[in-house]
Amino acid sequence: MRLDGPVVTGERTGVSTISSSTAPAGQVRVEVRGLTKSFGSVRAVSDLGFTVEPGQVTGFLGPNGAGKTTTLRMALGLITPDSGTTTFNGTPYAQLTEPTRQVGAVLETAFHPGRTGRDHLRVYCRAAGLPVSRADAVLDQVGLTPAGRRKAGNYSLGMRQRLGLATALLGDPAVLVLDEPANGLDPEGIQWLRRFLRHLAHDQGRTVLISSHLLSEVEQTADRVVIVGAGRLVREGSLAELAADAGAGTVQVRSPEAARLAAALSAAGAQVQTTGPDTLTVTGASTAEIGHRAFVDGVELHELHGRTSGLEETYFRLTAGAEQYSAGSPDTTTPGSAA
């Protein structure tokens, strides 16, 4: 089942403009070029460049401390890069005429604790010149209407995430940027968020960029991924490409006639590894191909499932160096005694 993702993705990539008719303000491509930023002597982001396409969900992946948040904040004009640019259809964020109506962003759950969620949204309606009725509309959109008149300080983490998302949606933007949106959401909320983001991208043609430090979190949502490590681009491409990069996925097979099936599969060109008296690990053949082979040869199957751990392993391998870096080697963390 999980192997479906990349396959569908591949098809979708080619026809990304097909369902753009309901896109709010035309499609917007985000281009990040040569972003570089140092904080003191620490280089947070180095010559980072990638493109975020409309009509797709792009996952922005990297271990903690890889520079994801810094990059997103630079893209949105909150941090001034040392060099490099980010443009939305060619225009930097700070020069967009009505930024709220073109780009919506959730960078952190930032609210005044004494203000109700609804009032929080009304503040930004006023600032963006939107009708205050949008506040109720987006509360409804994220399922937060019942809590709208409660103080945001009493919200659960999941409710805060929803309010942040509601804030981003106020201007009905063509681009959505979300920094670790799944943090604090319960499993049901994560399911909802996945469907919601895919709907926004695939059905409405919006550009969706979500950051995460976990591949598994964006694996079922994202069409493409941009992977960073230690502030540098590590890999950019569709999940299908990334999976291919890892080598074909492996398939786990259990059969009382394992040896006979192994011989048949080997003859068909797959690499077969016998991992137990009745279990095989197969590379180079899909579950469908293996099932078909067994059916044709009359081999009884007890278990047949594809493993995408190849993808996960690739991600770990790609970012391994960066993780060691972010763990903090003695020379990067200077103990400052401010006391």
Partner 1 sequence: MTARLVRAEWTKLTSTRVGLWLVLVGCLMAGGFTALFTGLAGAENGTPAVGTEAFSQLIAAIPAQVTIISLVLGVIGMTQEYRHRTATPTFLVAPRRGRVVLAKVVAYAVAGAVLAVAVVATTVVVASVYGAARGGAPDWSGDTLGVLLRSGLALVVYAVIGVGVGALVRNQVAAVVGSLVYLFVVESILRSVPATSGAYKFLPGGALEAMTATFEGPDLLTAWQGGLLLLGYGLLAAVLGTLLAVRRDVV
Binding site residues, partner 1, CB under 8 A: 39, 70, 73, 76-80, 93-94, 96, 99-100, 103, 105, 107-108, 110-116, 119-120, 122-124, 126-129, 167
Nearer CB in complex with partner 1: 119/313: 119
Query: 218 CB contacts (<8 Å, ≥6 apart)?
Result: 57, 59, 61, 210, 212, 225
Q: What are phi and psi of 336, to 5 degrees?
A: -85, 130
Could you tell me the smallest distance in angstroms from the CB atom of residue 22 to partner 1?
24
151 secondary structure, DSSP code: B
CA distances from 318 to 61, 278, 323 (A): 11, 34, 10
Could you tell me the smallest distance in angstroms from the CB atom of residue 168 to partner 1?
9
Could you tell me the smallest distance in angstroms from the CB atom of residue 254 to partner 1?
52
Could you tell me the smallest distance in angstroms from the CB atom of residue 108 to partner 1?
6
CA distances from 115 to 52, 121, 122, 139, 168 (A): 35, 10, 11, 15, 18
Provide the 3-class DSSP secondary structure of residue 220.
coil
Query: 250-276 b/e with 16+ CB inside 10 Å = b?
Result: bbebbbebbeebbebbeeeebebeeee
Q: What are phi and psi of 49, to 5 degrees?
A: -145, 140
Provide the β-strand partners of residue 61. 212, 227
Nearer CB in complex with partner 1: 153/328: 153
Could you tell me the smallest distance in angstroms from the CB atom of residue 169 to partner 1?
13
Nearer CB in complex with partner 1: 126/302: 126
Could you tell me the smallest distance in angstroms from the CB atom of residue 85 to partner 1?
14
Angle at 213 between CA 78 and CA 217, to 5 degrees: 115
Nearer CB in complex with partner 1: 114/146: 114
Nearer CB in complex with partner 1: 17/83: 83
Nearer CB in complex with partner 1: 72/280: 72
Nearer CB in complex with partner 1: 44/243: 44
User: Contacts from 287-296 at CB under 8 Å and sequence distance 24+?
Assistant: 287/3, 287/251, 290/251, 290/253, 290/261, 290/265, 293/261, 293/264, 293/265, 293/268, 294/255, 294/261
Could you tell me the smallest distance in angstroms from the CB atom of residue 182 to partner 1?
19
Could you tell me the smallest distance in angstroms from the CB atom of residue 21 to partner 1?
28
Count the Cβ atoms, other than its own, within 10 Å of residue 175: 27
Nearer CB in complex with partner 1: 21/133: 133
